[in-house]
Structure 1
C-alpha cells in the first residue's frame, strides 16, 4: 500500500510534474509569470529542468532562459534535457548567492524551493537584485501547517502535521509568509493565489507525502508511539481517505 523506499529526488520531481496537480499549478504559475518573447527568465532551483523547455518556448529564439540549481546531478539532467535549446543555460549555484549581475532578468520563478533554503529573505533579496525594475517573480510554496489528513483520532492527525512542520520541512509555513517576506525584500505583491489540492486516493497521496516513511520517522522523533503509528497507518490504508494542503502562488514585482 505504501512506498517504503525514498525515491531518487529527480524521480520524485518528475513524478509530481507528471500528475494532474503538477500540470495544473505549473500552468497557472507560467500564466502568472507573463513571459514575453525576447525576455530573460531565471528558473531558480530548476531541478532536472522540468520547466525549462516551457520557458524557452515562451521567450522564443530571441530570449534567454537561465536555470540555477545547487545539486550537480540535477544540473547535469537539466543540461541533458535542454541540449537542443540554444536559448537555455543551466548553472550550478546557490539561490542565496546568485552569480548573476544586477538587473539582468525580466522574470524569475521558484517552485517549492524556498521551503528548503537556509535563509528565504536572503534569497528574495538576491532575486530582487537580479531582476530589472518592473521585473516579476512567481513563487509556488506549500504551507505545511495546513496539511490535513482525516482520521477518527484527530490527535494523531495533529501529531503527524506537527511533526512535518517541526522536523521535516525547514521553512514549513513559507507559503503564508511569502507575501510579507517579499515585501520586506523590496517587492510589491499584487497577487496571491491559494491552491488546495485534495487527495482521495491514499496511494496517490503517498507518492507525494511519503506517508509510511514519514510516520516511522515521527515514531523515532517521539511524535507517535509504535501503537499509535500502527493505528494511524491501518486506517489510512483501509480508508476512506482524504488529505489536503494549501499551496500558495505568489506574484511579486520589483
Structure 2
C-alpha cells in the first residue's frame, strides 16, 4: 500500500484535471444526486431555509448543478439562481443538464472561485453550499465570502459529509483503517469541516438557526455507496492514493463482499442552516 506522490483531493482541483477524470466525477455527482437519501437530506435543509421564498439564490460550488436544478424545479420556487463552480468542464455539463430538465432559464451558471467571488455584497436572499466545504482549502475565507454576499436576514445552507467518519469494510482492521485514510485523502480536503462548522459560522458573523444529522450506512449489500465505489477505480489513481491495480483490487473486493452479503460502508452527514443578522 504505497504511493509515489502525496495524495490530493481531486474534487478540490477540478480546474486542473483531465477530461476522463472530470467525466467520472460527472457520473458520480449525478448518480449521488439522484439517490433518495441524498434528495431527502437536501430537501430538509432547503425547507429550513425557506428556499421557496428566496428570489435570488447562490449555489456555491455547484458541480453539475444538482442543488441548483433541485431548487429550480420546486413547484413554489419563482426566483433566480446563480450557480458558481471552479471547473469549466463541470459548468458545461451543468448547463446541458439544466437545459435537458427545462430549468436553464432560471439558472445563471458561472465559473468562479468560492474564496474570491466576483459578486456584490448583500446580493442574495439565500446561499447554498451543498457538498462544497469538504473540498475547500481556505474554509474560513469561503465562509466569509458567503457571509459577504448574502443579504442581512438572508439564509445560508451548508451540507456536507463528516468524512472523518467515512469507513468501508475490510477483513483486516488495521489495513482497513489505512485504506479509509487513503480514500479520504483522495476525495476530501477538510474531513472534519462539519465538526468545526458551528465555530466557523459564528466567526463569519452568521447565526446558527438549526442543524440536521444523518448516518448513511449500507450493511450487507452495497446500495447508496455503489456509485462511490465505481468512481474510486479512477479517482484513487488520479489522486495519487493508489495504483490502478491496487484501486481496482480494493473496489473489486468490496463488491465481492456485497455479493456475499458482508459489505459495510458508512459516513455521517450534517446540514446547517444559518442567518445573517
TM-score by length of structure 1 reads 0.82
Whether 1:29 aligns to 2:39 is no
- Alignment RMSD: 3.0
Q: Give the corresponding residue for 1:56.
A: 72
Whether 1:14 aligns to 2:30 is yes
CA apart distance, 1:51: 2.6
What SS is found at the alignment partner of 2:114? coil
Separation in structure 2 between the aligned mates of residue 101 and residue 51 of structure 1, nearest angstrom: 22
Q: Give the corresponding residue for 1:236.
A: 257
In the alignment, is the contact (CA less than 8 A) between 2:169 and 2:254 conserved in 1?
Answer: no
CA apart distance, 1:213: 5.9
Deviations along 1:158-198, one digit per CA (max 9) or x if unpaired, are: 22222234454211111212222121111111222111111
CA apart distance, 1:211: 5.7
Q: Give the corresponding residue for 1:42.
A: 58
CA apart distance, 1:139: 0.9
In the alignment, is the contact (CA less than 8 A) between 1:151 and 1:235 conserved in 2?
Answer: no
Separation in structure 2 between the aligned mates of residue 49 and residue 219 of structure 1, nearest angstrom: 29
Q: Give the corresponding residue for 1:207.
A: 227
Whether 1:112 aligns to 2:128 is no
What SS is found at the alignment partner of 2:39? helix
Change (3 A) 1:72 1:160: same
In the alignment, is the contact (CA less than 8 A) between 1:17 and 1:50 conserved in 2?
Answer: yes
CA apart distance, 1:247: 0.7
Change (3 A) 1:47 1:167: closer
Q: Give the corresponding residue for 2:111.
A: 92
CA apart distance, 1:32: 2.1
What SS is found at the alignment partner of 1:202? coil
Deviates more, 1:172-181 or 1:198-207: 198-207
Aligned residue-pair number? 244
Answer 1 or 2: higher relative contact order, Cα 8 Å, separation at least 6. 2
Deviations along 1:78-125, one digit per CA (max 9) or x if unpaired, are: 233434543321111111111110001010111111111221111110
For structure 2, the 5+ residue unaligned runs are 1-19
Deviations along 1:186-217, one digit per CA (max 9) or x if unpaired, are: 11112221111111323652421456667876
Q: Give the corresponding residue for 1:128.
A: 147
For structure 1, the 5+ residue unaligned runs are none
